[in-house]
Structure 1
Amino acid sequence: MRSLGVLLAVVTTSLIPSACLPEAVPCPAIAQAPVVALTVAASYAPSVKGIHLKACQDGTCREADLELMPGSVSVDLGCEPASGPDGTCSATSSPDGTLRGMLMMDVLTESRIDATATGTSSVGAPLPERKLSFMPKAAYPYGEQCGKFITAGTVLDADGLRQES
């Protein structure tokens, strides 16, 4: 009987520490593309036919004519009434008048990026050369346990090239 009591004490005390450990949090299986994104502001988009972007970081430069696609924003369509926390919700995208393109980099770090945008206007004339030096932004959108995401976004308008806010 005494050995049964010792066994019970060992099993019970071995379960206590594991009950106090935090559960593993699942991370989404999302890979981050190392890109410098460029958005042509809606007010400037009608003036733009094409954009060439050059970006240099850590001694490596990449450049390309960007494939410009129409930009959009998400519009919340709400959730089903009384659907609870696991209910069905929906959204749709709506064009916002911008143009968006991406320049693929080999690697994207938190180091400074020197970017130069040139291009062609809608009437075929060259657009003014615009330059920007900026620091990419780092964030943990899924928590620190899921790793850091680094983003490098720029906006081009009639006033020049600026970092996306």
Structure 2
Amino acid sequence: MAAGAAGAKERRIVVAVDEGDESMHALSWCLKNVVADGAPGDTLVLLHAKPTRTVYPSMDGTGYLFSAEMMTTMDRCSSEVADAVVARAKQACQGLRNVKVETKVEAGNPRDVICETVEKVGADTLVMGSHGYGPIKRAFMGSVSSHCAKHVKCPVLIVKK
């Protein structure tokens, strides 16, 4: 039964987006291959995980004092990046027919934010890009896509550029 046929389940597809080209490539791939037909009732959730600000003590090891103004500037910059990422992703979705597009910006570690949001929205599919790190870099930095693939309860599409 086709996704748009009577009685078919409406899909909720979460696409994790960040400032990297890999996530925008994954979104583009998803638009062409997953939601291309625009099944009525499908919802595309564009999710950006905004990293939380590192908590700095009032003075770091070098004796440099972080002012409240500096902290406010760092928060504003992080919000501007999130807004730009979401705007770029929404721009890519223009022209979709019959598909609702929602955006979510959540603060926290990307691997946790993605897994929690997928659960919270009841996603049918998670689409995300892969940075393509080698085994050594992945061992030190971790792989968000690998973590999500192991922990979410829906199918995960990892799109390599």
Which TM-score tier does this pair reach, normalised by the shorter chain?
under 0.3
Q: Calculate the TM-score normalised by the size of structure 2.
A: 0.23
Q: Which has the higher contact order (CA 8 A, sep 6+)?
A: 2
Higher strand share: 1
Higher helix share: 2
